[in-house]
Amino acid sequence: MIPESSHKPEYSSSSSSSCSVTGMWRLVILVSIGCCMAVFWQMHSLTLNYYTYSSNTSKSKMMTVSGNDNNNEFGIDAPSPSRQQFALESKVDRLHRSKADNRAVSLHQNVPSRSLKIHLWNDTTNKSPREDILVAEGWLEYNGKTVLGNEKDRSSLSSSSTIPPPPWFVHTDDPGEADLIVWATTMGRHPFEKAPMDPIQHAHKVIVLDYSDGCHLHRERETMLGHQTLIAYFKRSFVRRGDNNTFAGNCSSSSTGLLPYAYSGSRAMMIPLDSPEASVNYQVVRDNKGSIYGTIANRTETNTNTNTNTNTNTNNGYFKDERYDNFLIPFRDRLWDVTNVLRFGKNIARKEVIRWTHEFSKEKAGNPRTERQIRKQALQLVSSSTTTTSNDGDNNSDNTNNFTAYVGKVVGTIYDECSGHCFGENYMRHLRDAKIVVTCNPMRWEGDFRLWESFLSGAMVMVDTMVILEWMPHPPTNGVHWIMYDPRNKTDFMEKLMYYSDPANTEEAATIAANGYEFAVTHHMATHRVGYVLDQVRSQLADRIGDPSKRAILGLRPQEYQ
């Protein structure tokens, strides 16, 4: 007998072969499942990376809009996307992202706006009164309009169906509750000025508007930086000048962190329509030693027909600007072809410009007389009952072109009238009697009130070459809004003054005067400087202003969408 153990049924071989095949298939299936899971996991990882990139990119874009530019197109924490990640983007993905952005914008637009609280810092010295006028006017009147003084804007605001936009800022006497602290300083009494340096009450709130002359900075600036109260420091005399008032550089360096700034026009530089100076019969009081060239026509007899109560823009110029309650005189009806009321002191360039103006005026109209001489002659004429057709009694035969000029000081300056706390309406009235106002910048820096007082008088402005306004939005254009001359070049000055004072070119001079006036009230009033400052500190405000309603008035997205 054959033992059973030694007998292998035929099916044993067949069964073993089947089992081997089945095991192989199981292995293939397991490998396939593993591969599928690996592929699925890889795809899942790529998808997560893509949405991480998408989210960070959207966040980066929002931060850029709000002023937080990280100098990285994809954001600081976002990985640089690969082509595979970009390839995963579909229409559905783009639609999803677009809806999220739109929702953020919609929420931002639906948030009610609320004015920010601002504190105008008092350093206790009261040494910057006119600068304080500009700062208060600009910040408390600012409401975000890009074109202030535009008739269309003003007419829409007066409509009963239109609610005026709220002011962006309301004043508070408490610096601790303020969102911003604005400090205007001229460093008139530098050691005695009290600066906003409290690390708690004033933290991350202070904007300094340094109106002082020269490149030196306030002695407490470093302390404010150390206490983290200062967010921006603006410097009015940002430009340094060399010999003969030529450009020599600026006060900025990589370490100073200074921002350029400039004076501006102001309502305080205007003459209200109901003031005594707003009359064709008003007699400006000038300095006894001022030089008068030529014969001045008696306006009382010749120009009373121009005294209207409407804002008239004729070929002869304009008379009253009712948008700003500002008194103006038609260009052709002005008494002086040229005026120069500069004081020179140690300013050699100004001294030369005054001398050139005297020389030019003498060539045009002969020898001058002083205000004292004219008043004395007028008294003699009255006592002798002698009539005259001019208010100065001058019958200078050398003045064949009927040219008139006044070179000298004007009585009733800001220091005589209000101890520096106003702009002097008698002085501003004199500027409105001139067709061309010649002015010149300070000796070692750029910027003064004279430029803007001249613009707002409606005269054509002649000023030495300057560059500070190139840093401001909407710089004026030479030959369109004003005429610039080279303070080193007498010939250049004389030729330009000769051309624009020529009666044949009166229309061209009047056009430049009108352009300059409109340009100043449209782009360079106190409120426009506020807009410029806000643009410079936008990122700092986005970081620290959390109230959604206050962010809304500043045009910032809610912080959750940054």
pLDDT category at 246 given cuts 50, 70, 90 is confident
The residue with tokens 């009359």 is 279
Confidence (pLDDT) at 52: 41
Confidence (pLDDT) at 318: 55
pLDDT category at 187 given cuts 50, 70, 90 is confident
Q: What is the 8-class DSSP label of residue 281?
A: T
Residue 302 burial (CB count, 10 A): 12
Contact 108, 560 (CB under 8 A): no
The span from the CA of 165 to the CA of 538, in Å, is: 20
Residue 335 burial (CB count, 10 A): 21
The span from the CA of 390 to the CA of 409, in Å, is: 22
Confidence (pLDDT) at 562: 54
For the stretch 428-453, pLDDT in tens is 999 999 999 999 998 788 889 999 99
Phi-psi region of 113 (alpha: psi -120 to 50; beta: other; left: phi over 0): beta
Confidence (pLDDT) at 310: 37
- Judged against a pLDDT cut of 80, whether residue 394 lies above it is answered with no
Confidence (pLDDT) at 35: 66
- Better-predicted residue by pLDDT, 188 or 420: 188
Using DSSP, state whether 310 is helix, strand or coil: coil
282: Cβ contacts below 8 Å, ≥ 6 apart = 276, 429
Strands (E), 458-523: 460-464, 483-485
Phi-psi region of 67 (alpha: psi -120 to 50; beta: other; left: phi over 0): left
pLDDT category at 40 given cuts 50, 70, 90 is low
Cβ burial 384-407 (10 Å sphere, 16+ → b, else e)? eeeeeeebbbbeeeebeeebbbbb
Q: Across all residues in the chain, what is the average pLDDT?
A: 75
206: Cβ contacts below 8 Å, ≥ 6 apart = 121, 181, 182, 183, 196, 224, 229, 230, 231
Q: Percentage of the chain with pLDDT > 70? A: 64
* CA–CA distances in Å: residue 273 to residues 94, 152, 307, 309, 410: 59, 21, 11, 9, 21
Contact 398, 369 (CB under 8 A): no
Confidence (pLDDT) at 5: 43
Confidence (pLDDT) at 423: 81
Range with the poorest average pLDDT among 52-56, 257-261, 324-328, 358-362: 52-56
Confidence (pLDDT) at 328: 93
For the stretch 270-314, pLDDT in tens is 999 889 999 878 889 888 889 999 987 654 433 333 333 334 443
Using DSSP, state whether 465 is helix, strand or coil: coil
Find the mean pLDDT for residues 410-419. Answer: 59
Confidence (pLDDT) at 535: 93
Residue type, 363: E
For the stretch 49-101, pLDDT in tens is 444 434 443 333 333 333 333 333 222 233 333 333 333 344 444 444 444 44
Lookup: tokens for 439: 């002015």
- Better-predicted residue by pLDDT, 516 or 84: 516
For the stretch 456-496, pLDDT in tens is 999 999 999 999 999 999 999 999 999 999 999 999 999 99
pLDDT category at 534 given cuts 50, 70, 90 is very high
The span from the CA of 529 to the CA of 135, in Å, is: 9
Residue 126 burial (CB count, 10 A): 12
Confidence (pLDDT) at 343: 83
The span from the CA of 53 to the CA of 60, in Å, is: 10
- Judged against a pLDDT cut of 90, whether residue 170 lies above it is answered with yes
For the stretch 192-235, pLDDT in tens is 889 999 999 999 999 999 998 888 889 899 999 999 999 999 99
Confidence (pLDDT) at 400: 52
- Judged against a pLDDT cut of 50, whether residue 159 lies above it is answered with no
Confidence (pLDDT) at 69: 38
249: Cβ contacts below 8 Å, ≥ 6 apart = 239, 240
Range with the poorest average pLDDT among 129-138, 224-233, 298-307, 349-358: 298-307
